[in-house]
Amino acid sequence: MSKSHPTNESEASADTEELSEEASDEQTAKKTKGAHSVVTALEKAEVEITFGVQGGAIMPVYDALADSDIHHVSMAHEQGASHAADAYGIVSGKPGVTITTSGPGATNLVTGIADANLDSDPIVSLTGQVPQDMVGNDAFQETNTMGITSPITKANIFATSPDTVGDDVGTALALAAEGRQGPTLVDLPKNVTTSETEVEPSEPTVPEAYQVPPDEADPHSVEAAAETLAAADRPLILSGGGVIKSEASDQLREFAIEYGIPVVTTMPGLGSFPEDNALALEMGGMHGTGYANMALSHCDVLLGIGTRFDDRLTGGIETFAPEAEVIHVDIDPAEISKNIHADYPLIGDAGAVIEQLHAAMPGEPDAEAWRDRTMEWKATYPMGYETPQDEAVKPQFVVEAMDEAAADDAIVTTGVGQHQMWAAQYWTYTEPRTWVSSNGLGTMGYGAPAAVGAKLAAPDTQVIAFEGDGSFLMTSQAIAPAVRENLDITVAILNNSYVGMIRQWQDAFYDERRYESEWDWGPDFATLAEAYGAQGLRAMGYDEIPEVIEEAFAYDGPSVIDFHVDPVADVYPMVPSGGNNAEFALEADHL
């Protein structure tokens, strides 16, 4: 037996120590902070971009984010972050994510979360919170984020441990995108994000208790609905935002064309059916086309897909589609017969149910006379306006001029007010996910920050934001991150020196008393844009419009065009709130 060589013993001892150190290092490396688990959960969900504003209670998450490849966009205001994330979700189909601090960082998100809730948009809000042992003490920047957001989120989660916080984030991401999409939130106490954990977050998944709605509707109900639709004399499809969210636009187009059924869209449904198709009757409702509203009022079978039949669409529910049997397709059972009674409730994914209906249709409806009638309505109630060259520029002309100059697949974002309606009426939408707006909540100031999110979701697609002067003033600071990110977007302000829709309603229903809607001074928006570092342009007359549009579109970066338009132009057609869609007004005297 040979004796061990002393040198070998030393080497063996050194090897043992080295292995021990490596094992120790490996063990240490497994330990991480709750904040890193939050970021890891985002990475596992393949989140590429987040939006937000730094702050005290969320600093640990931001510090962890610095080590990630996720691109974070620092917005100028948390409300802008929520709208940017909302638009990112609409355009990409994936949840938009915000990261903000506690207190005002959370409350400033509330409008954007409520907006996403009404429009069923997928966003996830990660909010900082004071440490758990300080909750309820009225600590600095403490607010009850859970209580505030509970009514306006699909789910909200209060993180309680660094071991589970990553899974909390994964759950929120999964829930936002599953079934009927919507906003979720995770409140992150600072002690949770700063404490150590060795637990790796799981893959994003919905909780076992969450009932995932089936894609397909009851086959017997589908068969009955198909037979009714095929037997209709005056069939009509009402296409809502759910068609776009389920990626069902192609199925809808094929179904409508094969069976020759005219299509009306809701405002969230703009782009779900191409408006350059002869069957398209465009948008219905309060400011919908006359021919869309006439079709809604005279159809005998209405197939509503992915719509919640909101009051701006229906007007008075007792006069909505009064002669029609209603087939209602929706992923959310709660929407069935909530506002309009469904004779044929079909609960399921829009795309899957359209395919079911397609397979079950016994034949094509005998609807040639009905189609001719809709064409007669198009001729009787055309969309249009006059453009006297010695008068102020009509805002509708600006929308059409920009549409003509823009790419066919350009994305339009809007604020809320008259400009939103003109952008809906006079732009021709032919593709889904090209209309990005605040449809349900009606949030002024949505358009500019939404353009930031839309451009980041689709960097190779042209993005144009329509704003009013009042709407733009609410979130104009969104131009700052647009410049910082060098986003090639164009903001078109239809500047009428009024809060225009309020002025229109005051003229119509308040004896023309324009209290606090008429402004005798406003900022120079072109100069304001230049102060932010963007290109600022201005157009005062028709002859200047082509040049400024060309200049804006050619500029590599954000441009803002201040279009001075007719201050008293009104939006028509119009159905007064709660009115009869068949009795739309084409001018003020009709109200």
Decide if 140 is catalytic: yes
Which candidate in 22, 27, 30, 140 is catalytic? 140
Active site residue 190: yes
Count of Cβ atoms closer than 10 Å to residue 128 Cβ: 28
Provide the H-helix boundaries in 178-306: 190-194, 219-230, 241-245, 249-259, 290-298
Beta carbons of 374 and 236 less than 8 angstroms apart: no
User: Could you tell me whether strands 196-197 and 32-33 are parallel, antiparallel, or unpaired per DSSP bridges?
Assistant: antiparallel
Helix (H), strand (E) at residue 268? none
Count CB-CB contacts under 10 A for residue 476. Answer: 24
Instruction: Tell me which long-range contacts 59-66 makes (C-beta under 8 A, separation of at least 24).
Output: 59/101, 59/128, 60/33, 60/34, 60/35, 60/190, 60/193, 60/194, 61/35, 61/99, 61/126, 61/128, 61/188, 61/193, 62/99, 63/35, 64/33, 64/35, 64/36, 64/38, 64/39, 64/193, 65/39, 65/99
Whether 396 is a known active-site residue: answer no
Q: Is 501 labeled as catalytic in the residue annotation? A: yes
Burial of residue 533 (number of CB atoms within 10 Å: 0-12, 13-18, 19+): middle
- Which residue type sits at 11? E
Using alpha carbons, list the distances in angstroms from residue 556 to 36, 176, 231, 504, 563.
Answer: 36, 34, 55, 37, 20
Q: Which residues contact 350 (CB under 8 A, 6 or more apart)?
A: 242, 243, 245, 246, 248, 251, 252, 305, 306, 329, 330, 331
Beta-carbon contacts of residue 162 (< 8 Å; ≥ 6 apart) = 33, 34, 37, 192, 193, 195, 196, 197, 199
In single-letter form, the type of residue at position 590 comes to: H
Residue with tokens 């086309």: 289
Does the active-site annotation cover 563? no
CA distance 468 to 22: 62
Q: Which of 94, 190, 245, 455 is catalytic?
A: 190
Would you state the structure tokens that stand for residue 399, as one six-digit string? 């929308």
Catalytic residue among 54, 141, 530, 553: 141
- The set of residues, in sequence order, having a beta carbon less than 8 Å from that of 384 and lying 6+ positions away, is none
What is the rounded distance in angstroms from the CA atom of residue 404 to the CA atom of residue 491? 16
Encoded tokens for 52: 């937000």
Angle at 347 between CA 349 and CA 241, to 5 degrees: 50
Tell me how crowded residue 21 is: count the other CB atoms within 10 A of its CB. 10
Is the CB of residue 72 less than 8 Å from the CB of residue 50? yes
DSSP string, 103-145: THHHHTTHHHHHHHHHHT--EEEEEEE--GGGTTTT-TT---H
What gap in Å lies between CA 524 and CA 510, rounded to an integer?
30
Neighbours of 79 (CB within 10 A): 26
CB contact burial 160-169 (16+ within 10 A = b; e otherwise): ebbbbbbbbb
Provide the 8-state DSSP code for 149. Answer: H
From the candidates 361, 421, 501, 574, which is the catalytic residue?
501
- For 101, phi and psi rounded to 5 degrees? -90, -170
Which of 33, 51, 78, 378 is catalytic? The answer is 78
Active site residues: 78, 140-141, 190, 501
